[in-house]
Amino acid sequence: NDEGGCFQEARHLNMYTWQEIQRHNQEADQWLVINRKVYNVSSWADRHPGGRRVLNHYAGEDATDVFRAMHPEPDIVQLYLKPLLIGELAPGEHSQERHKNSQLVKDFQELRRIIESMNMFHANLGFFFLHFTQILMLEMLAWLILYHFGSGWPVTIFISFLLTISQAQSSFLQHDVGHLSIFKKSKWNHVMHKFVMCHLKGLSANWWNYRHFQHHVKPNIYPKDPDIDMGPLFLLGDSQPVKYGKKKIKYINYEKQHLYFYMGESPRATFLISHFLEARCITFKCFSLQDIAWVSSFYIRYFITFGPYYGIFGTVLLIYLVKFLESPWIAYVTQMSHIPMRMSTEENRDWLSTQVLATCNIEQSFFNDWFTGHLNFQIEHHLFPTMPRHNYHKVAPLVRSLCAKHGLQYVNKPMLRAFGDIVR
C-alpha cells in the first residue's frame, strides 16, 4: 500500500522545464529545485531559520548542493519540504541548468559521498571542549590578575589583551556551533550558539545567522553577499564603483580607501560600529526575546565581574576597548580569504565553482590554525560548512585534486601575503 501511495503521488506530480522554473525568482515568487524535485517556498520563506533572503538568492535555480551543504540533518528538513513540493523536472531536463558542467557537479557530489564515508562530519568533542576551556581560562585569569594586582593601567592593558584573545577565540567557537558542526543534534548547536554568541560575546545570534548564511550561499556575489557590501565607506570589486560613479555618489575619496582602511583599523571595526544598531534592530524585528535576554546576560556578567574595580562607565569602556582590539584580528582573518578573490554579480555557477572562485586558503601551521580558528582552510569550510574544522586538513588534498581535474585554481598562500592582498 505504501508503495502504491508513493506511486500515486509521483504520478500526479507536475512536470516543469528549467525555462518555467527560472521565471519564479522574485521576492514573492520563489521556486527551488532539490534533487530534481521542484518546491514553491514563497509562502514559507519568512519562517526559514536561515532567513528569507537565503532562499531568494537561489530562487529559480538548482539548490541541491547548497541544500546538502547547509543542513546536517536533511531527513528532518525534508519534513518541512514535503508540503512545499509542487512537481519535478520533466524527464528530458538536465538535473542542473544547461550551462553548468554536469560532470563537475557529479564529481563534487561523489566527493561528498566519499568524505561522508570517511566520517569527516563527525566532531571530536574533546577538541571543542579544550577550545571552550581555553576561553573560560583566559577570562578567569584576567579576573584573578585584576583581583590580586588592582586596576592600574599596566594591569588594565594586560587583561585587555587576555580578554581580546578570549573574545577572538569565542568568535571562532560561535562560528563552529553556528554552522551546526559540533553536536549531532541541531538543537544542541543552536543552544550552544546562543550561549557563545550572546552570553560570551554580547552579540545577537539571529543577526549573525541572518547575514552569515547569505555570505555562504553566494560569496562575493554583489549585492547578495552582505560581507562585500561595505558602502558607503568601502567600495569593493568592479560593479560597486561603477554603481556609485553613475549615480555620482561620493561620500569619501575612494581612491584613498586603502589608506583609511588602516586609519579605521579595519573594515571590521567599521562593520561592528555601522551594524551595531542593525543587529539590535533585527533582534527586535524578529521578536527574539531569547537573544535580548542572552545579550543582556553578557553585560550583567561583565558588570558583576569588573564593575567593582572600574565602575559602570569604566566597565563599558573596557568592553569596547576589547572589542576595538579584537576587530582587526577578526577582520583580517575573515577578509583575507575573500576580498582579494573574484567578485561579480550573479552568474549562477555550480556550488564548487561558486565557492572556489571566491575563496582562498592560507598555509597550514599550528599557529595559523589557532590564530584563524582553522579558517585558513576557507575553501573546505565553504564547500562543507557543517564539517568540524579539525577535519579540514584531511579533506583538503581531495578538494585540491578535484579542482585540478576541472581547471579551477586552488589558491593557497602565506598569511602575511594574504593580509597584504586585502589592501592591494
pLDDT exceeds cutoff 90 at 264: no
Last residue of a domain, one of 98, 130, 164: 98
Name which residue leads in pLDDT, 267 or 92: 92
Statement to judge: residues 295 and 161 lie in one domain: yes
398: in domain: no
Neighbouring C-beta atoms of residue 74, cutoff 10 Å? 13
Residue 191 domain-assigned (yes or no): yes
Q: Considering the entire predicted model, what is its pTM?
A: 0.91
Number of domains in the chain: 2
Query: What pLDDT shows up at residue 241?
Result: 85
Q: Are strands 29-34 and 37-40 parallel, antiparallel or unpaired?
A: antiparallel
Q: Do 89 and 153 have their domain in common?
A: no
Looking at the fold, whether 153 and 275 belong to one and the same domain comes out as: yes
Whether 31 maps to a domain, the answer reads yes
Is there a single domain that holds both residue 37 and residue 152?
Answer: no
Residue 61 in 3-state DSSP?
coil
185 and 309 both lie in a single domain: yes
Question: Which of 98, 132, 166 lies at the terminal end of a domain, its last residue?
Answer: 98
Report yes or no on 220 lying in a domain.
Answer: no
Quick check: 304 pLDDT over 90?
yes
Q: Is 23 helix (H, G, I), strand (E, B) or coil?
A: coil
Query: Based on the domain organization, do 326 and 184 belong to the same domain?
Result: yes
Q: 174 is written with which cell numbers?
A: 560561535
Closest CA to 168 of 131, 219, 194, 127: 131
C-alpha cell at 85: 513540493
From 98, 130, 165, give the residue that closes a domain.
Answer: 98
- Same domain assignment for residues 159 and 270: yes
Sign of CA dihedral 272, 277, 281, 284: positive
**CATH code where residue 41 lies:** 3.10.120.10
The helix/strand/coil state of 221 is: strand
Span 303-320, average pLDDT: 96
How high is the mean pLDDT of the chain?
90
Q: How many residues does the chain have?
A: 424
Alpha-carbon distance of 354 to 410, in angstroms, equals 12
If asked whether residues 318 and 199 sit together in one domain, one would say: yes
In this structure, the answer to whether residues 167 and 279 fall within a common structural domain is: yes
Nearest to 208 by CA among 334, 31, 79: 334
Compare 405 and 289 and report the one with higher pLDDT.
405
Clarify whether residues 70 and 189 are in a common domain.
no
Interval 90-114: pLDDT, tens: 999 999 999 999 999 999 999 999 9
- Classify residue 392: in a domain, yes or no: no
* pLDDT tens-place string over residues 322-355: 998 998 899 899 999 999 999 999 999 999 999 9
Closest CA to 381 of 407, 399, 363, 402: 399
Whether the bond between 72 and the residue before it is cis, its omega within 30 degrees of 0, is no
- Whole-Å CA distances, 413 to 337, 362, 374, 420, 423: 10, 5, 14, 11, 15
AA identity, residue 139 = E
The secondary element (H helix, E strand) that includes residue 86 is strand 85-89
Domain presence at residue 384: no
Cα distances from 187 to residues 72, 124, 219, 266, 377, in angstroms, run 11, 18, 26, 34, 26
Both 30 and 169 in one domain: the answer is no
What is the share, in percent, of the chain residues with pLDDT greater than 90?
75
Residue type at 98?
R
Q: Which of 115-129, 137-151, 193-207, 279-293 has the lowest mean pLDDT?
A: 279-293
What is the residue-wise DSSP string for 159-189?
HHHHHHHHHHHHHHHHHHHHTT-SSSSHHHH
196, part of any domain: yes
Residues 91 and 162 in one domain: no
Is pLDDT of 275 > 80? no
Q: Is residue 48 part of a domain?
A: yes
106 Cβ contact list (under 8 Å, min separation 6): none
Range of the domain at 165: 145-212+253-336
Residue 270 pLDDT > 80: no
pLDDT for residue 237: 86
